[in-house]
Amino acid sequence: MKLIFVEYLASLKERGELDVIMPDLLSEIGLSVISRPAIGTKQYGVDVAAVGADDKGVQKIFLLSIKSGDLRRSAWDVGQQSLRTSLNQILDVYVPTHIPERYRSLPVVIVLCLGGELHEDVRTDVLGFMDRNTNKSVKFEVWNGDHLAGLLLSGVLRENALPKTWQSDFRKSVALVDEPDLSFGHFCRFVANIADACKANRPARLTAIRQIYLGLWTLYVWARTADNIEAAYLCGERAVLVAWSLLKDHLAGKSKPARQLKQLMERLIALHVLIADDYIASYVKPRAKIRHGLSSAVPSQSHLDVNLRLFDLVGRMGIRGLWLSYLADRLSQDGNAKEKEIVGDALERTAQLLTGMIQNNPILLTPIKDNQAIDINIACLFLDRTGYCDVIQHWIGQVAQATMFAFQSQGPYPCIYGEYRDLVDHPRDDDEYRIEATAGSLLVPTLAVWAAITADPVTLKLLADFTVGPYNHSTLQLWYPGSDTETHLYRNSANHGLTDTGLHIQRSCKAMLSPIKLECEASAAFTSLSAVSYGLWPLVILACRHHRVPVPPHFWPLSGPTIDSAC
């Protein structure tokens, strides 16, 4: 397994990658991190500072200057960002003036932290510099990729703490990144084993989440190298949800372990978002504004494969936009103007990208599975938050008309089946099968609610007539969280929640939304969800998308001046 980590570390970038994992690695091997990487502040050559005992038990302060990949002459002594310049700043400024008072009596170890190796063409120069500047209080060490891989295996991913079956699943997940479904399956078993074996205390939970975090980083880097980050995207969603299930009961208070858990969860979410952004930039953005661009990019001639892929992409774009919306909400309270502007621009770009996807790929008007309502709903939630209500209204109206036409003409109408082999045989020219395949519906009520929210009485009336006419056999459903949802939502460990099967489509927008609003107000289970109570509401929607659970109606904008005064 060490070879996997050597290759992984060599592939990491210096900023935002190698410097991100180092603090967690140092913490797990017993050092106390006193300074982390920061943007916009002068660090005088020190990327990470930590205090702790060396392998002989002597307390020291470790000052790390980090460089990615192999250290060659250009990175050693060329330009202001060279490693030699950083080391001189540490010796001249940081050591005399920036070490905290309580640690100034400790010996200083300046660490040249390399993701790769110390190259032969510069080895003599580096060793000479270290010898000239070593004295009684300051020493130097080189931590290359092989050494860091050893630290990983002696610390947070130590092999004696990971049974052989866990190691096997992890290796297979990394090795099979070109086969996303297989890679994802092995990674799921890897994180599930970590979670199931984790003791119910904060230190154990912290270690477990670091293992998941570094495991995901490793998989992502290998997937990026293989130019196929589909597996990393799926694994990122699962990692975030499993991690939250481990720490949600251990966040109370202001103790150091509680703060560390919160910070680590934020970094894991940030990694998930980084992978999502990479995925969108690589696969979605170049094709979203081209007519049939995404549809033609699916490596299959099957209409079913294209349909499933594009609706999945719509859900992914929606949840990415909702994370941006969540960040914008946070920044509106305590962010600076520059940050707000950056996030605002990102929100607008993402909304335009999603709009382009919908407008340029007509297949997104014809869902084939009833539970694709989940992806449609997530996308509409994001578009509503960014003011694209006209896009929602037009899209929902077209989907509603296409759905009704497909059912009445016995075309590829939305069905309740989810297995691929069942969808391949759908639809059949059999009235009994048609009734069975549409026995229940989440999609039709979802379309009706969005028609009401966007004040579209024409679509609402069509759906109302459809459900009391040719579709009157179908049980219209909405799903609400129950008292058991908190226990099972994040890991999908069992069926949970409550289903409202007494729904009727109304011709009036207000009449359509009022009963749902009352039901939401009467439901205490939603507000008691840990992700909601801690303010991390996108986690609920992420869990719904990942595990194919309907999004709670509580997220719908069920009241407002437009709704109250329209249709």
Q: What is the DSSP string of 80-104?
A: TTSHHHHHHHIIIIIIIIIS-GGGT
Q: Which residues, 6+ apart, have CB-to-CB distance to 314 below 8 Å? A: 354, 357, 358, 364, 375, 376, 378, 379
Q: How far apart are CA 433 and CA 74, in angstroms?
A: 70
On the question of pLDDT at 566 being above 80, the answer is: no
Query: Residue 161 — very low, low, confident or very high, per pLDDT cuts 50/70/90?
Result: very low
Residue 371 DSSP class: G
Q: Mean pLDDT lowest for which of 32-36, 123-127, 392-396, 455-459?
A: 32-36
Q: What is the pLDDT of residue 134?
A: 94
Question: Residue 30: what pLDDT?
Answer: 80
Span of 16-30, 287-301, 453-467 with lowest mean pLDDT = 16-30
Amino acid at 397: G
Q: Which of 180, 178, 114, 191 is nearest to 145 (CA)?
A: 114
Q: Is the pLDDT of residue 401 over 60?
A: yes
pTM of the model: 0.82
With a cut of 70, say whether residue 391 has pLDDT above it: yes
* Size of the chain in residues: 567
pLDDT in tens, 257-266: 888 889 889 9
The larger pLDDT score, comparing residue 381 to residue 263, is at: 381
Residue with the bigger pLDDT between 133 and 174: it is 133
pLDDT at 4 (0 to 100): 64
Is the pLDDT higher at 2 or at 25?
Answer: 25
Residue-level pLDDT at 335: 73
Q: In this structure, are residues 407 and 462 in contact, taking their beta carbons and an 8 Å threshold?
A: no
pLDDT at 258: 86
Q: What class has domain 1-159?
A: alpha beta
DSSP-derived secondary structure letter, 71: B
**At 160, is the pLDDT very low, low, confident or very high (cuts 50, 70, 90)?**
very low
Helical packing angle, 202-225 and 230-247, nearest 10°: 170
Residue range 506-532: mean pLDDT, rounded: 94
> Is residue 159's pLDDT more than 50?
no
Q: Please say whether the beta carbons of 16 and 38 come within 8 A.
A: no
pLDDT band at 90 (very low <50, low <70, confident <90, very high): very high
Give 409's pLDDT tier (boundaries 50, 70, 90).
Answer: very high
Confidence of residue 93 (pLDDT cuts 50, 70, 90): very high
Domain ranges of the chain: 1-159, 162-284, 324-565
What is the distance between the alpha carbons of residues 116 and 11, in angstroms, rounded to a whole number? 8
Answer for the pair 71, 122: CB distance below 8 angstroms, yes or no.
Answer: yes
% of the chain surpassing 90 pLDDT: 67
Backbone phi, psi, residue 65, to 5°: -110, 120
pLDDT of residue 77: 84
pLDDT (tens digit per residue) in 282-339: 999 999 999 999 999 999 989 999 999 999 999 999 999 999 999 999 988 877 888 8
Query: What is the average pLDDT score of the chain?
Result: 90
CA distance 425 to 77: 65
Cβ atoms 444, 474 nearer than 8 A: yes
Run of H or E including 140: strand 138-143
Token pair belonging to 467: 């459900």
What is the per-residue pLDDT across 197-225, written as a single tens digit (0 to 9) for each? 888 888 889 888 888 988 898 889 889 88
Q: For 232-244, what is the mean pLDDT? A: 97
pLDDT at 2: 65
pLDDT, mean of residues 403-422: 95
Write out 309-353 in H/E/C secondary structure. Answer: HHHHHHHHHHHHHHHHHHHHHHHHHHCCHHHHHHHHHHHHHHHHH
